[in-house]
Amino acid sequence: MFSSAPMPTSRTRIDIPDPGEVVRTVVDGQPVAVWNVAGEIHAIGDICPHRGFVLSEGNVYLTREGCASVVCPGHHWRFDLVSGEAAFRPECVRVYGVEIDGDGLWISALPGSSPGSRAEGAG
């Protein structure tokens, strides 16, 4: 029997961050930031594609609609924590899979999720 769900290419186990906390880790050799925003866990690539600033050092904001984004501390680009897309820019950061396992998390690099630019017509 085959599953249509993508299989992780690599994964790392970490403790669940406290609400409002960010934890840095490495998955498949890449730096990853994992946030707990109001009880929701988000994991994205930790390096801004613009100038290489560390995103986990930026501030996280919630919109009125409840969407979370991080603002790069270098040049203030804003990245959605669910999609990895930059607001008003074609660039994006990789989004990582998150699986809760007891008191910890598995953070996974998923096939098809890669840093770079959005596909034309996407987003």
- Residue range 76-106, pLDDT digits in tens: 999 999 999 998 888 899 999 999 999 899 9
Residue 60's CATH number: 2.102.10.10
Give the mean pLDDT of the chain: 86
CA atoms within 13 A on the CB side of 110: 15
**pLDDT band at 7; cut points 50, 70, 90:** low
Residue-wise burial string across 1-12, b where 16 or more C-beta atoms lie within 10 A, e elsewhere: eeeeeeebeebb
Question: For residues 69 and 40, is the Cβ–Cβ distance under 8 A?
Answer: no
- Residue range 25-53, pLDDT digits in tens: 999 999 999 999 989 999 999 999 989 99
Secondary structure (DSSP) of 88-122: TSSEE--B-EEEEETTEEEEEEPTT--SEEPPTT-
How high is the pLDDT of residue 3? 52
The answer to whether residue 1 is domain-embedded is no
Token code pair at residue 91: 């660039």
Q: Count structural domains, the chain.
A: 1
User: Under the phi-then-psi rule, with left for phi > 0, alpha for psi from -120 to 50, and beta for the rest, what region is 4?
Assistant: alpha
The answer to whether residue 118 is domain-embedded is no
Predicted TM-score (pTM) of the model is 0.82
Domain containing 35 equals: 15-113
The answer to whether residue 41 is domain-embedded is yes
The answer to whether residue 28 is domain-embedded is yes
The answer to whether residue 8 is domain-embedded is no
Residue 75 has pLDDT above 80, yes or no: yes
